[in-house]
Structure 1
């Protein structure tokens, strides 16, 4: 496997991992007002490909945030108990927006690296054709 192929493989794994992270962040944001919803988090894992001896990144198992759900007082809500409270979600929109921005920037950095590697490979091919 050439160094260009290895670099493209690593950046592609980074792109997939960040895309998965963005998908979970968008799920969290869209369910921020859903009663009982727990925030989803996705860890990254480094995995070595034994055939090519290249280390990739992939997403691990999705976990639910175990923080307590916020109690909201709204006696008119259908899920309210006899005291007028119900459990809302534990999604913090500021955290989700920060995570989305970080994932977006990481995705863009991986994409730039992918484009740079492809450009270098094309330039090398042009030089070899001469």
Structure 2
């Protein structure tokens, strides 16, 4: 695996985690949105990540193959289909005939934990990127 391949893997991880943090931020921003363009309350969004290559095949087949692209990509952004929270507030403009308002299915604690996880994954990718850079610099110093 080349140095550039390692940089591409870390870069794809950084891009994916940045999008994940953006989606989490959108969820937190809409935690009280009871009316959306589709008419109902806001639904929590989540991203689906998948590998862009098969690491095992790369190891078995050819360690120097440049055609195998490894990394991670966002394959989809899905909406959480869990039930909305019902809150009794008969004076709310979106209350039903019984006085209940359907609130978004966004849990601030869950979003905070997801954000911390995405941040740690982002940090890990930066560490891998910096380590690869340091290895390249050391390899160039050997050639002096």
| TM-score of the aligned structures, taking structure 1 as reference length | 0.92
Matched, 1:38 2:43: yes
User: Moved runs in structure 1, 4+ residues, more than 4 A?
Assistant: none
* SS of residue in 2 equivalent to 1:25: helix
Distance 2:112 2:24 in 1: 8
The alignment covers a number of residue pairs equal to 128
Equivalence for 2:78: 63
Following superposition, the deviation at residue 70 of structure 1 comes to 0.8
Unaligned runs of 5+ in 2: 35-40, 55-64
1:47 aligns with 2:48: no
Aligned equivalents of 1:60, 1:24: Cα separation in 2: 14
Find the aligned partners of 1:83 and 1:54 in 2 and give their Cα distance. 56
Q: In structure 2, how many angstroms separate the alpha carbons of the residues matched to 1:52 and 1:32? A: 44
Shift of 1:121: 0.5
- SS in structure 1 of the partner of residue 52 of structure 2: strand
Shift of 1:71: 1.0
Structure 1 residue 97 corresponds to structure 2 residue 96: no
CA distance in 1: counterparts of 2:14 and 2:28, whole angstroms: 21
Instruction: Flag structure 1 segments of 5+ consecutive residues without an equivalent.
Output: none
Q: Cα deviation per residue 1:93-116 (whole Å; 9 max; x = unaligned)?
A: 111000000000000000010011
The partner residue of 2:94 within 70, 79, 86 is: 79
Q: 1:67 Cα deviation (Å)?
A: 0.4
Aligned CA-pair RMSD: 1.6
Quote the Cα distance in structure 2 between the aligned partners of 1:81 and 1:48: 49
- Separation in 2 of the partners of 1:118 and 1:54? 19
